[in-house]
Amino acid sequence: MNWPASASRLPSVSLFAVSLLVLASCEKANDLGLELPGTSPITSQYLDLPVATYTVRQQPVETVNSDYVLVGRLRDSKVGTTTAQGFLNLQYNATLSPPDSLPSKTARLDSVVFSLGFNQVYGTTSQPLRFNFATLQQPLDARTVYNSASAGPSSTVLLTNIAAPLNREIKVWQQLSTNTTNNRDSVQVTVVDKVLRLRLLKYPATTTLANSTFAALQDASFNQDKLDAVWKGILLTPTANFADNIVAFSRSFNSRVVFYFSGTNASGKNWNRHAYSLVAGPLPANALTAGPKYFTQITTDLSGTPLASLTTSAQQVSSAATDEYTYLQDGTGLATRLEFQGLQALTNKPELAVNRAELLLPIQQNTNGLFPYPANVFLYEANASNQVLTRAVGATSYERLVQAEGVVQNVRITPTSVGSPASAVLYPSYDAPQYYSVPLTEYLQAYLQNRLEGELPSALLLSPILRTDASLTLNRAQLDAKNIKLRVYYSNLR
């Protein structure tokens, strides 16, 4: 980061030591020559230190059992074409569908519906998602770690170019907080139906699959192994040449395959309008089962864009080649490399006391029409090859992130702590550019005093990805690289 390699010989150490001494001393402030309110105004100023910026790409991205499964393809002039495919295991779960929910004598299969709920669409909602439906030839392996670059099992395509509307409206009853004058406690409203549904008995290719699976369900000894034998999993891929949108399927009780049937049981009692469910996809956190395994494969074709040279994580593209902008995006792995410069402006002035250091990251305005801004971004310590540095705590290795400052859950956080990463917060504004901000006061002190306990980073990587988080999005920020700065507030000691 163009920071000095050893701070033990630098005037900047005494600079920070003086500021700490001022805070901790038992002497009166005026005896130390400070000007306090009530005597004469204290001098408080700031310096904006420049930052060299680059766009890099950190792949792969963790996508297994995340909060979302992404499916679709979207072409974007800034970073190319992104394609997302969803691999889903199926799960038999006696808690959700007890064995006795199927009749033991006769049963007539009325309908089979595969569904997934969504709450985010990247791209247009006026055009449907067009996808292919395939069955996996092997279930996802329980011991394999899948990510955005994983190939997944091979598959057999059963349906192609299925259109799933994304703006279909339905009428639902909404509970009212108080009774109206006509004593009604609910009212019918129109909402967008955010559920993808595929009726398997509608197509010959999937009718055979549905019938064979339903026959297996009626076996009294039905279990997960017997389900895997007849239906091993689902692959959803965007149709060829489709590039209108990518849909984020969220945690929902709609993640299932439902068999609707009627008939009679062994005692001759009618079984009408009954259903049996298999789980497929992300379930809510409060579900009675953890759900089956799934992951999203994500590929981004950067050809034809200024970022086309980002074929490995060691490569980087200067902001000068991208119209003075840099990018960071979840899912695609785009991140911004930050190299701080100009710290000599402080190290050569021992009469200054640093009060606060803050990283300011302005966003190019009105660039969230296609991809929303990330709510939080994080700072990874990296070497010259854009590899994230690690820190060993006991037998566990952790990626090194800039930590939050102060006390978190009654624990004092230090720059060498793990588990409490600093989060750059997005500050909204209606009359000024929006920007991210994160304090770096303690981190800057630790760096200059060589107290980071390990290899000194050559840069920080700004990324919306936190690998311990289950979230998976395509949220993106386009940063105004010319105005990214490290702002250091200081006071004159004499």
Phi then psi dihedrals of residue 180, to 5 deg = -85, 180
112: Cα separation from own chain's centroid: 32
Which of 16 and 254 is assigned the larger pLDDT?
Answer: 254
Q: Which token pair is 378?
A: 């994080």
Residue % of the chain over a pLDDT of 90: 64
Q: How far is CA 459 from the centre of its chain?
A: 22
| Cβ atoms of 342 and 49 closer than 8 Å | yes
pLDDT of amino acid 25: 34
Among residues 66, 102, 101, which one has the least CA distance to residue 84? Answer: 66
Closest C-alpha among 456, 421, 458, 417 to residue 439: 421
Q: If you ran DSSP here, which 8-state letter would residue 101 be given?
A: G
SS (H, E, C) 357-391: EEEEEEECCCCCCCCCCCCEEEEEEECCCCCECEE
pTM over 0.75: yes
Q: What pLDDT, on a 0 to 100 scale, did the predictor assign at position 275?
A: 86
Average pLDDT, the chain: 86
State percent of the chain over pLDDT 70: 85
**Nearest CA among 140, 132, 130 for reference residue 158:** 132
Looking at residues 257-283, what average pLDDT do you find? 82
How confident is the model at residue 119, as a pLDDT? 94
Q: What is the mean pLDDT of residues 113-136?
A: 97
Instruction: Look at residue 19 and tell me whether its pLDDT is greater than 60.
Output: no
Do 380 and 463 touch, CB atoms closer than 8 A? Answer: yes
Sequence-distant (≥ 6) Cβ neighbours of residue 104 within 8 angstroms:
218, 220, 265, 266
Question: pLDDT tens across 26-81, in order?
Answer: 333 333 333 444 444 445 688 899 999 999 999 899 999 999 999 999 999 899 99
Q: How many CB atoms lie within 10 A of CB 226?
A: 15
Residue in the structure block whose two tokens are 């992300």: 282
Q: Which pLDDT does position 246 carry in this prediction?
A: 98
Nearest by Cα to 353 from 450, 445, 486, 449: 445
Task: Please report the DSSP string for 412-468 in residue order.
Answer: EE-TT--S-B--EEEE--SSS--EEEEE-HHHHHHHHTT-SSSPPPSEEEEES--TT
**Full 3-state SS string of 7-67:** HHHCHHHHHHHHHHHHHHCCCCHHHHCCCCCCCCCCCEEEEEEEEEEEEEECCCCECCCCC
Cβ neighbours, 10 Å, residue 466: 18
Name which residue leads in pLDDT, 469 or 55.
55
Range with the lowest mean pLDDT among 85-94, 149-158, 448-457?
A: 448-457
Asked if pLDDT for residue 450 goes beyond 70, the answer is yes
Q: Residue 347: its pLDDT value, please?
A: 67
Q: pLDDT (tens digit, 9 = 90+) per residue, 456-468?
A: 999 999 999 998 8
User: How confident is the model over 278-282, as a mean pLDDT?
Assistant: 95
Number of continuous H segments (helices) and E segments (strands) in the chain:
5, 28
Query: pLDDT for 153-210, tens place per residue?
Result: 999 999 999 999 999 988 888 877 665 555 667 888 888 899 999 999 999 999 999 9
Confidence (pLDDT) at 99: 60
* Residue predicted with more confidence, 444 or 387: 387
Residue 238 CA to residue 85 CA, distance in Å, equals 7
pLDDT in tens, 383-431: 999 999 999 998 899 999 999 998 878 888 999 999 999 999 888 766 7
The total of other beta-carbon atoms located within 10 Å of residue 410's CB is 5
Closest to 44 in 3D by CA, of 440, 487, 425: 487
Least confidently predicted of 19-28, 86-95, 305-314: 19-28
pLDDT recorded at residue 470? 87
Ranges 2-11, 311-320, 404-413, most confident: 311-320
Q: Select from 347, 313, 314 the least CA-distant residue to 332.
A: 313
- Amino acid letter, residue 430: Y
First to last CA, the chain: 30
Separation in Å, CA 311 to CA 57, 199, 317, 333: 8, 41, 11, 12
Give the DSSP per-residue string, 263-286. Answer: EE-TT--EEEEEEEEEE-SPPPTT
Which residues does residue 382 pair with via DSSP β-bridges, in sequence order? 388, 459
> How do residues 329-385 score in pLDDT, each as one tens digit?
999 999 999 999 987 766 666 677 778 999 999 999 989 999 999 999 999 999 999
Which of 171-175, 287-291, 448-452, 481-485 has the highest average model confidence (pLDDT)? 481-485
By C-alpha distance, which of 117, 120, 72, 168 is closest to 368?
Answer: 120
CA distances from 415 to 9, 369, 447 (A): 21, 36, 9
